[in-house]
Amino acid sequence: MSSPTSSNKRHRVVITGFGALTNIGHNAADTWEAMKSGKSGITTIDSDDFKQYEGWTVTIGGQVRDWSPDAVIDKREAKRMDRVSLLGLFAAQEAVDHSGFDFSSGDPERQGIVMGSGIGGISTIETSVQAMVSKGPSRISPFTVPKLMANAVTGNISIRFNLQGPASTHATACASSGHAIGDAMEAIRLGRADVRLAGGSEAALTPLCLGAFMTMKALSTRNDAPEKASRPFDTGRDGFVLSEGAAVYVLESEEHAKARGATIYAELSGAANSCDAGHITAPHPQGRGAGHAMRWALEDAGLQPDDIDYINAHGTSTPLGDKAEIIAVKTVFGDHATKGGVNGGLVMNSTKSMHGHCLGASGAVELIACINAVREGIVAPTINLDNIDPECAGVDIVANVAREMPVRRAMNNTFGFGGHNVSLIVSRYEG
């Protein structure tokens, strides 16, 4: 592989393209428009995979509906991929097209990729087990392993665009895509790559996965009102809503982007991750690890707490998680967190109120809101926030209607089972 351009220089990292496929939009632009308008993508699950079983106490989720990969992926090729790869490849193609960069014209050894997926090809695992139980091991598809492996998304995208540089996959639960984007940024910073695709994909809205979260009692049971089920920071929240989706970004060094005349949409200026080292599923009650990630991301970007205007919260709509995140934000940001956006302080939102929880793809999907906030000066709402939990009060949470306000820098939080925490910082690009 080509050697780094410099062992000492720290390169600025910019975002020059992005793509998405979510339950609220089949591309990044439509996803953002849905976020701004407060549109919910949570519905009653419509799938024969679920209808074959009885006993569901949760019947809602965030399905990507009325979508086909045919425009991007050959039908024969698609049969050899799990849905998680199809979602990711679709979003990656949009990101590449959006960037205007011809990857065949660059040095493939200086073009890389990092993707995140918390679950990977869970649908393939389920169907393969069913085949083995009902028909015997000889009827297991020979494509099973390349379909189910967590790095299949990374592998399939790298093949599509001939990305021969640094490549990896993160599987740190719901923090996966945040980890991926942060690592991609660091490689470019250090001069180890000129361009990297980064993001996440998740297709875990399957019977086994939903059933497992259901029996953990982690999911909302508001089956009679799906659109109102995800309600971060609200007194009526009763768990998260399981969703699927993907988002991918083209990251470049500033020099590379300028040399080709690229449109620069934002700067990725800081990232950090930490571990609670406490409980395998529950967050630290005081948000210790979350606070570390936020503080270290600020340090990484060379910023102070009052330099952040907006936080896209992890905000899953769980009783423990939302409370812990608020405590962590207040601890890290102090008076800046509590004086309110109208007074020059911090504002927060959780777009999961609209699209639900995309697990390992969450950070990537929610980065769309951060990029567009610094570009347009609009913070999307947290819908269904009718009565804020007193334990979540004190921070200015944008409720139910989008807010126009100057946003110089935004922080994106993603936290996951295992105690993983990631914070990213996106800044308005000023060349």
Q: Known catalytic residues? A: 174, 314, 357
The two structure tokens encoding residue 32: 């953002």
Least Cα distance to 414 among 341, 325, 301, 331 occurs for 325
Alpha-carbon distance of 302 to 354, in angstroms, equals: 32
DSSP letter for 209, please: H
Counting Cβ atoms within 10 Å, is residue 105 exposed (0-12), middle (13-18) or buried (19+)? exposed
113 sits in which H/E element: strand 111-116
DSSP for 303-339, please give it.
Answer: --GGG--EEE----S-HHHHHHHHHHHHHHHTHHHHS
DSSP letter for 81, please: S
Dihedral Cα 22, 392, 60, 215, nearest 10 deg: 120
Alpha-carbon distance of 318 to 316, in angstroms, equals: 6
Counting Cβ atoms within 10 Å, is residue 221 exposed (0-12), middle (13-18) or buried (19+)? middle
Residue 288: partners with Cβ closer than 8 Å, 6 or more residues away: 276, 278, 328
Alpha-carbon distance of 185 to 244, in angstroms, equals: 25
Alpha-carbon distance of 40 to 231, in angstroms, equals: 11
| Residue type present at position 314 | H
The two structure tokens encoding residue 216: 């953990």
**Dihedral over Cα of 95, 299, 366, 60: its sign:** positive
- List beta partners, residue 168: 114
Alpha-carbon distance of 345 to 323, in angstroms, equals: 20
Q: Phi and psi for 297 in degrees, rounded to 5?
A: -65, -40
Question: How far does CA 156 lie from the centroid of its chain?
Answer: 19
| Residue type present at position 96 | V
Least Cα distance to 59 among 74, 73, 71, 49 occurs for 49
